[in-house]
């Protein structure tokens, strides 16, 4: 029997923030606990932040919280003795930026194998927040954070290509899993559907953060369209302005657990609007729920959506194609049913267990690399 691993997880985002980075880290910690391994989490300080998860300690470091943005953790000298005292076999850098960059240098000094997970298109976010001039320095910081890692994991083909284009060579694809038992067509609730669409409209939904980088304002082209009812699940800094611009839409706020699964399955069509997704878990959960999807032909969704097989892709070069794709599915119920059936089959094998077992194999690979061949040597 193999010796249990000791893993330090350094993450730029953690509870109470709920996003793709946090959700992936939670799944990692749950799997490490289930398999009998040990972990220590280092994360930015946040009001209401927990100090333990899955039985593992969560050490918080000082951070800066800005309105509308996630807390940004700052490197602290105490991180090095904290890591050294835990005596880890490997350091897992979750979407490394400031904290991860510092932790990677600590790993080099301590000769600890390091694996980094690229997950957030920070440069893309900068462009959406009208900070394009920062794209180059941001990519420089990302490259620095990942270049000292023994292996970088990318969630999709396009992000793997982006990392290689920016000078990173040791890159492997590690997608995300989906809970196909929780997200299941049987969770569809006809009473909820009637509540949302009392006149029998086609329910078109979005699930995610209501922030600038998600480009939810694209849904305005569907607002007030005959026979279509918009349902928007989530919250964020743009909620008030979106409610004002789409007065006929239903805004549910944040839903979690079974409520979220019920909402997904009760949609007739799921739409994703943003172009900066490195993966897009919401698309995968929609497909598992038996809901046909409309997503952008850009970024991570290209690995998940097979056009006219499990969903429809809209062209970022032709933004009007989003509404066109939704209208096509609204009018063609048979096509919706075919895409829904194929959609669930396309993701049902991507269980979190299989994805996490792949991660453990990546851990073992970097741990077993002889010291002279490692980057930190």
pLDDT digits (tens, 9 = 90+) for 14-72: 999 888 899 999 999 999 999 999 999 999 998 889 999 999 999 999 988 765 566 78
Question: Which residues belong to CATH 3.40.50.2000 in the chain?
Answer: 6-177+352-373, 185-347
Tokens of 221: 């082209």
Q: How many helices (H) and strands (E) does the chain have?
A: 14, 16
Q: Report the pLDDT value the prediction gives residue 133, as an integer from 0 to 100.
A: 61
Q: Among the CATH numbers 3.30.70.100, 1.10.10.60, 3.40.50.2000, 3.40.930.10, which is that of 6-177+352-373?
A: 3.40.50.2000
Closest listed residue to residue 250, CA positions, set 284, 213, 201, 306: 201
Q: How far is CA 298 from the centre of its chain?
A: 15
DSSP 2: P
Specify the pLDDT at position 126.
46
**pLDDT tens across 241-262, in order?**
999 999 999 999 999 999 999 9
What is the pTM (predicted TM-score) of this model? 0.89
Question: Per residue in 275-290, is it b (16+ CB within 10 Å) or e — as a string?
Answer: bbbbbbbbbbbbbbbb
- Cα 106 to chain center, whole Å? 27
170 vs 372 pLDDT, higher one? 170
Query: What number of other Cβ atoms are within 10 A of residue 238's Cβ?
Result: 18
Task: Using the predicted structure, report yes or no on whether residue 281 has a pLDDT greater than 60.
Answer: yes
What is the CATH number assigned to the segment(s) 185-347?
Answer: 3.40.50.2000
To 10 degrees, the CA torsion angle through 170, 117, 7, 70? Answer: 150
- Average pLDDT of the chain is 92
Q: Can you read off the two tokens belonging to residue 91?
A: 């350091």
Q: Per-residue pLDDT for 130 more than 90?
A: no
Residues 229, 222: Cα–Cα separation, whole Å: 8
What pLDDT digit, counting tens, does each position of 206-241 carry? 999 999 989 999 999 999 999 999 999 999 999 999
């Amino acid at each position: 029997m193999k010796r249990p691993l000791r893993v330090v997880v350094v993450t730029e985002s953690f509870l109470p923030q709920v996003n793709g980075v946090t959700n992936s880290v939670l799944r990692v910690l749950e799997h490490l606990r289930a398999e009998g391994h040990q972990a220590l989490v280092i994360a930015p300080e946040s009001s209401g932040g927990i100090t333990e998860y899955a039985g593992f300690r969560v050490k918080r470091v000082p951070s800066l919280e800005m309105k509308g943005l996630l807390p940004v953790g700052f490197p602290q000298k105490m991180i090095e003795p904290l890591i050294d005292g835990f005596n880890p076999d490997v350091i897992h850098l979750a979407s490394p930026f400031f904290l991860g960059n510092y932790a990677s240098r600590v790993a080099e000094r301590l000769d600890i194998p390091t694996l980094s997970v690229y997950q957030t298109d920070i440069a893309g976010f900068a462009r959406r927040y009208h900070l394009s001039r920062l794209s180059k320095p941001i990519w420089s910081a990302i490259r620095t954070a990942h270049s000292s890692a023994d292996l970088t994991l990318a969630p999709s083909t396009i992000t793997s290509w982006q990392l290689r284009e920016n000078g990173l060579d040791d890159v492997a694809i590690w997608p995300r899993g989906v809970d196909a038992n929780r997200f299941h067509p049987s969770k569809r609730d006809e009473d909820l559907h009637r509540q949302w669409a009392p006149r029998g409209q086609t329910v078109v939904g979005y699930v995610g953060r209501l922030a600038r980088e998600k480009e939810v304002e694209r849904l305005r082209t569907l607002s007030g369209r005959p026979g279509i009812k918009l349902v928007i699940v989530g919250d964020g800094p743009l909620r008030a302005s979106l409610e004002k611009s789409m007065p006929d839409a239903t805004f549910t706020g944040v839903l979690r657990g079974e409520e979220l699964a019920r909402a997904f399955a009760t949609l007739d069509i799921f739409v994703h609007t943003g172009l900066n997704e490195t993966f897009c878990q919401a698309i995968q959960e929609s497909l598992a729920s038996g809901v046909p999807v409309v997503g952008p032909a850009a970024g991570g969704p290209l690995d998940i959506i097979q056009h006219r097989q499990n969903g429809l892709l809209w062209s970022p070069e032709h933004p009007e194609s989003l509404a066109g794709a939704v209208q096509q599915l609204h009018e063609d119920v048979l096509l919706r049913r075919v895409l829904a059936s194929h959609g669930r089959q396309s993701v049902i094998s991507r269980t979190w267990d299989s994805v996490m077992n792949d991660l453990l194999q990546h851990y073992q690979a970097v741990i077993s690399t002889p010291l002279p061949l490692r980057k930190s040597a």
